[in-house]
């Protein structure tokens, strides 16, 4: 712990200086007083630290389950592509398709390239619906395990096709 004690400081004064004249000596004394620094301590038991670590880990797990996978519609370089174009998700994980570049875009799941029993019209945007502005999104949650192929109807001919595997 550092301690500051009071001290006397002499401060010279330079007022009234004239060339060739010897000034009278003027000085002042200032006293500086300081109080001892206060001490504090933090004590935590090993049990408290363990509880904090467990709570933090539980929060991280819950937050990761609530997160969604983001797929960009159009590459940063202006390419007509899904970025990423092929990826995997867990059953029930949300996929957010986000308009990025080269729009308008939409997301249509190919009815011939999805697991049996899945209705493509329930997981796809309609052919007429388009995302027209940067940042607009379309979200879908797939629960049936398998491989799904999707495309952007305005740009399918340009190769804007993607694939997701649901585990």
- Known catalytic residue at 67: no
What number is the average pLDDT over the span 140-161? 97
Helices in the chain by DSSP H: which ranges? 46-66, 120-123
Count how many Cα atoms sit within 13 Å of the Cα of residue 99 in the half-sphere of its side chain. Answer: 14
- Known catalytic residue at 1: no
Range scoring the smallest mean pLDDT among 56-60, 98-102, 160-164: 56-60
Q: Which one is catalytic: 1, 67, 125, 152?
A: 152
- Summarize pLDDT for 93-128 with one digit per residue, the tens: 999 999 999 999 999 999 999 999 999 999 999 999
Average pLDDT, the chain: 77
- Known catalytic residue at 125: no
Q: What global pTM score does this model have? A: 0.61
Q: How confident is the model at residue 109, as a pLDDT?
A: 98
What number is the average pLDDT over the span 35-58? 50
């Amino acid at each position: 712990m550092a301690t500051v004690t009071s001290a006397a400081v002499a401060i010279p004064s330079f007022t009234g200086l004239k060339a060739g004249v010897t000034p009278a000596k003027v000085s002042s004394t200032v006293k500086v007083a300081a109080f001892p620094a206060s001490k504090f301590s933090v004590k935590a038991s090993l049990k408290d630290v363990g509880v904090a670590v467990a709570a933090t880990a539980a929060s991280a797990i819950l937050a990761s389950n609530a997160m969604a996978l983001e797929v960009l519609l159009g590459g940063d370089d202006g390419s007509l592509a899904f970025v990423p174009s092929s990826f995997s998700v867990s059953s029930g994980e949300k996929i957010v398709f986000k308009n990025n570049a080269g729009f308008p875009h939409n997301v249509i799941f190919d009815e011939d390239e999805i697991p049996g029993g899945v209705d493509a019209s329930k997981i796809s945007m309609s052919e007429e619906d388009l995302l027209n502005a940067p940042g607009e999104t379309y979200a879908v949650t797939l629960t049936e395990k398998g491989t799904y192929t999707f495309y952007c109807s305005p740009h399918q001919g340009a190769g804007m096709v993607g694939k997701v595997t649901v585990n």
